[in-house]
Amino acid sequence: MQRLGPWSREAWAALALQLLRPPRAPCAGDFDIAGHFDPMIPDAECLKIIYEILNALQLGDFLIKMSWKDVRQEMVGKIGLAPEVADCIGVYIQQHGGVSLVEQLLQDPKLSQNKQALEGLGDLKLLFEYLTLFGITEKISFDLSLARGLDYYTGVIYEAVLLQTPARQGEEPLGVGSVAAGGRYDGLVGMFDPKGRKVPCVGLSIGVERIFSIVEQRMEATEKIQVTETQVLVAAAQKNFLKERMKLIAELWDAGIKAEMLYKKNPSFLTQLHYCEETGIPLVAIIGEQELKDGVIKLRSVASREEVDIKREYIVTEIQRRMSES
């Protein structure tokens, strides 16, 4: 098969693994197959590619809807089906399903009288056979309500959508919608050929920008991801405790604990706590006037904000215990 565009299926697999990296600019990824081939084989591969990409990205449950472009217009305006025959399709418009719905339409007494309609439904049935071999029919829905707005589509059209999932407590429902689409456009390439040669094509487009938007929504709705290996921040509750912080951090380093402190003599306590929250540091070892007087270190959990006083001689052991349990 000759594919338009620079990417092979292997490249698409690599894209799926890299999509969580921030984009430099709004974009979409396109994949096309051009050439004269037996019916529905390249179409099935395009649907398989959409399935593989969305499955690899693990964005959640998804469904690939499949239909004709603008059912009534296609039947009445382009393949010459009589309006009264096309009207009988209306009873199916709200239906969706698998190959059984295609078979139901094939048996319709009015549609069965139209050669073009039978050929189109036959192709769809064949497509479902190939999708069954690819093992992806559980994610495919034949949906007659689907319509793509672009005029150059000439046959099967499809659109992949993320399905709404219930929001967890305290979260807003995540926005869902189309993340990929495509279809057959057999007449488009020939429009740009001086000799008017017909080049059958089928393709798909992945909404990369849309996917990034969904990923960002979900990251905001979940706990902050730790972006550092630091286990504990050594902090001071008052001014003029730089030397005490340096003594404590040296002790933690010697014990193999991954610790850090802000490179300022007198950082505000709030600034130090915000730093932990932004970077995902789980613990704060706090020293101040009262702690120094009592011979303790106040150990704070960033997630729960719980604070406990630990004897100075046990602080290393306590941090190591907590890290081993996390």
pLDDT tens digits, 197-228: 888 999 999 988 888 887 777 666 555 555 68
Statement: the pTM of the whole predicted model exceeds 0.85: no
Q: How confident is the model at residue 21 (pLDDT cuts 50, 70, 90)?
A: very low
Structural domain boundaries, residue 253: 232-325
Which pLDDT score, from 0 to 100, does residue 58 have? 83
Query: Which is more confidently placed, 180 or 69?
Result: 180
- Whether 73 and 182 share a structural domain: yes
- Whether 208 and 74 share a structural domain: yes
Q: How many domains does the chain have?
A: 2
199, 221, 243: which is the final residue of a domain?
221
- Whether 118 and 250 share a structural domain: no
201, 221, 241: which is the final residue of a domain?
221
Query: Which is more confidently placed, 263 or 197?
Result: 263
Q: How confident is the model at residue 6 (pLDDT cuts 50, 70, 90)?
A: very low
Residue 318 falls within a domain, yes or no? Answer: yes
- Segment 88-142, tens digit of pLDDT: 555 555 556 678 877 877 787 766 776 767 777 788 889 999 999 999 999 998 8
Which pLDDT score, from 0 to 100, does residue 228 have? 80
Q: Tell me what percent of the residues of the chain surpass a pLDDT of 70.
A: 72
User: Which residue(s) pair with 31 in the sheet?
Assistant: 204
Query: Which is more confidently placed, 154 or 305?
Result: 305
Is 151 marked as binding a ligand? no
- Whether 49 and 83 share a structural domain: yes
Is 32 marked as binding a ligand? yes
- The CATH number linked to 309 is 3.40.50.800
- The CATH number linked to 174 is 3.30.930.10
Q: How confident is the model at residue 85 (pLDDT cuts 50, 70, 90)?
A: low
Residue 4 falls within a domain, yes or no? Answer: no
Which pLDDT score, from 0 to 100, does residue 243 have? 95
Is 152 marked as binding a ligand? yes
- Rounded to 5 degrees, φ, ψ at 290 are -65, -40
Q: Mean pLDDT across the chain, nearest whole number?
A: 79
Between strands 201-206 and 178-184, the pairing is: antiparallel
- Whether 87 and 136 share a structural domain: yes
221, 244, 279: which is the final residue of a domain?
221
Residue 15 falls within a domain, yes or no? Answer: no
- Segment 177-190, tens digit of pLDDT: 789 999 988 888 87
Which pLDDT score, from 0 to 100, does residue 285 have? 96
- Can you tell me the distance from the alpha carbon of 235 to that of 268, in angstroms, rounded to the nearest whole number? 9
Is 153 marked as binding a ligand? yes
- Whether 123 and 155 share a structural domain: yes
